[in-house]
A = this chain, B = another copy of it.
Amino acid sequence: MDAGTTDHVDLAVIGSGSGNSLVTPDWEGKRVAIIESGAFGGTCLNVGCIPTKMFVYPAEVAAAVREASRYGVDAHVDGVRWRDIRDRVFGRIDPISEGGKRYRLEGENTTAYLGRARFTGERTLEVALNDGGTARVEADQIVVATGSHAVVPDVVRESGVPFHTSDTVMRIDDLPPRVLIIGGGYIATEFAHVFADLGVEVTLVARGPRLLRHLDGDVARRFTEAARTQWDVRLETRVEELTPSEAGEGLVDARLSDSTRVEGALLLVCTGRAPSVADLDLPAAGIAQHDDSRIVVDEHGRTSVPGVWALGDVSSEHQLKHVANHEARVVAHNLVHGDDLRSFDERFVPAAVFTRPQIAAVGATQEELDEAGTEYRVKVQEYADVAYGWAMEDTVGFCKVLAAPDGRLLGVHVMGHEASIVVQPAILALNLGLTAAETARGQMWIHPALPEVLENALLGVVDPEN
């Protein structure tokens, strides 16, 4: 492309994750630009939800083997073929990403710009192409869907030691003997699960007093207890010094604020993610941002600049793919129905953490209700008290239901086997505004299947005697 010309398009989408789904049949016969500086498909496909779960599953299998003797089945793990796992995952994902790029490059009405976009005006962009050139794009409408990226704390950056984030750690060649994970959120704990259950010693260092502390207090507390039986968990602890280790290439030695040392570990930084706005020069377009740098959007996905929209991690307070997908569906409609705008419905955003035990939740936590001064009833039902829990000899799982005094559901929190599946009927019930009694008694629950733990929790919040 000639640096002197400007391409005019009907729609420009910056980011090929959830933004990629905006190219609906409504755009046939029009011009759409997709601008992507990295791998096509965004975080979820390339370095997030999807590949992590493809590592989590083998980890669960390995854990199941190690736990088998509890059930009268003596078994053992002979070995873990890390490269085979890795190559299976990326052998599947990389071609999908490549295919998505090709599809846009060769699309009848799409142009893929492979490079970094920055605003030069309200609806004008300059793209620093990966191959060295520059493109200028003027669009009737622009959607910013650049997502988020891993944040790396100064102590790591400044130490100069080799480290990984979720962007790179899934592609390592060999499992290290030990992993030092900094962070206590869902990314830190999912990777701790993967590495520990594949046989790596895991030390996890977190600043807070509990892991997953954004979750309901009972969940965070009980998860932290369970995690302590699996990993070396250091709470209220910081990494104070990092040095290259003599134990092997790419490994580090660390001094912690509790005066202990961790030696010969692969360093994995999971200290949060920030919206990817640095290159965009949002001020050049006058696009308003929150204090945490997220783009400000209204309930329709509109930024402060007419014709410019944003969705997903770059603007959402939820860093969740299903939220981004929802926002993309709403924005896809709104882009072509300016006189009939739809709104985001984020009243009940569910989330899961694919750890062992697994966690899923929807609606308010008990702490949020306390803080808001909302009255509630609560019931905690143990997996161990329903028949399927007996079959699993379960000792850790539970389902917690919070409901208003009139029975209306406020929040449901599940920790245990397949929590991410068990929680789904509660998501529907919350969205429909059902009471605990309507949800429990408005349907049959297969006996003796695991959802009985949710049924019983719902009944328990109806009648605290239960």
Give A residues with C-beta under 8 Å from B: 44, 49-50, 53-54, 56-58, 61-62, 64-65, 67-68, 71-82, 84-85, 88, 92, 198, 320-323, 325-326, 348-352, 360, 387-388, 390-393, 418, 420-425, 427-432, 439, 442-451, 454
Contacts and interface: CB of A to CB of B under 8 A. Distances in A.
Contacts of A323: 444
Contact of A80 (B73, B351, B428, B454): B73
A72 B81 contact: yes
A85 to B, nearest CB: 4
The 5 closest A-B pairs by CB, nearest first: A72-B85, A420-B449, A58-B71, A74-B78, A322-B447
Contact of A424 (B73, B320, B431, B451): B451
Contacts of A443: 348, 424, 427-428, 430-431
Nearest to A350: B446
Contacts of A447: 44, 49, 320-322, 325
A52 to B, nearest CB: 9
B442 A431 contact: yes
Given A75-B77, A326-B444, A352-B446, 9 more contacts: A49-B387, A74-B81, A88-B393, A325-B447, A350-B445, A421-B449, A424-B446, A424-B454, A427-B444
Given A85-B71, A92-B390, A53 B428 contact: no
Nearest to A441: B329
Contact of A74 (B77, B425, B444): B77
Given A323-B444, A420-B450, A448-B53, A76 B76 contact: yes
Nearest to A44: B447
A388 to B, nearest CB: 6
Given A424-B424, A451-B424, A390 B54 contact: yes
A53 B392 CA distance: 9
Nearest to A85: B72
Contacts of A72: 58, 80-82, 84-85, 88
A394 to B, nearest CB: 10
A456 to B, nearest CB: 12
Nearest to A388: B53
Contacts of A351: 446
Contacts of A421: 418, 421-422, 449-451
A143 B431 CA distance: 40
Contacts of A56: 391
A60 to B, nearest CB: 9
Contacts of A67: 61
Contacts of A326: 444
Contacts of A429: 428
Contacts of A387: 49-50, 53
A421 B322 CA distance: 20
A28 to B, nearest CB: 14
Nearest to A323: B444
Contacts of A348: 443-444
A346 to B, nearest CB: 8
Contacts of A81: 72-74
A448 B351 CA distance: 10
Contacts of A454: 424
A76 B74 CA distance: 9
A284 to B, nearest CB: 33
A84 to B, nearest CB: 4
Contacts of A388: 53
Given A444-B322, A447-B320, A68 B73 contact: no
